[in-house]
Amino acid sequence: MTISAVRIDGRLIHGQVANLWTTKLGVTRIMVIDDKVAASDIEKSGLKLARPAGIDLSVLSEKVAADHIKRGGYDSQKVFIVVKRPQVLLDLVNDGVKLETINVGNMSQTDETTQITNSINVVQDDVDAFKALHEKGIKITQQMVPGDQANDFMAILKKFDTKK
């Protein structure tokens, strides 16, 4: 399997992912990895409606996704992995999935989060997961749309102290 890109985006599949990123990357499959979404028929139905025509979609739990990736279940495809939070990716890496680069897109604001850019809001667990991924040698960038410059996410993250 060719993992064409990995993106953290709390919205999962939406206009930017469906239209801009899939076209730019030339992917054949979007793989949404999220335990709660994978267990919800309603959420899965919504994602199926949002996916672009001609692009396959898998909505999988973390464990199933890791197993499929490691056994080569999508070897003939160009896969775009989308998750909501960095911990999902850290769990995948710790389970033996190899990732080279992660793109941080949108992480929505809640009462518990700290805003670090206009579109990225984190809690301390997110910061810890990003640091662990970075320590494993994974490049982490911030880029909303393909036409934007890809910025070093760890440099952005260093500017903020979420342990207040």
Task: Give the model confidence (pLDDT) of 73-91 as tens digits.
Answer: 888 999 999 999 999 999 9
User: How many domains is the chain built from?
Assistant: 1
Quick check: pTM over 0.95?
no
Q: pLDDT band for position 154 (50/70/90)?
A: very high
Q: Which two tokens stand for residue 77?
A: 């495809």
The string of DSSP codes covering 81-138 is: EEESSHHHHHHHHHTT----EEEEEEB---TT-EESSSSBEE-HHHHHHHHHHHHTT-
* Domain interval for residue 124: 1-160
Average pLDDT, the chain: 92
Q: What is the CATH number of the domain that holds 112?
A: 3.40.35.10
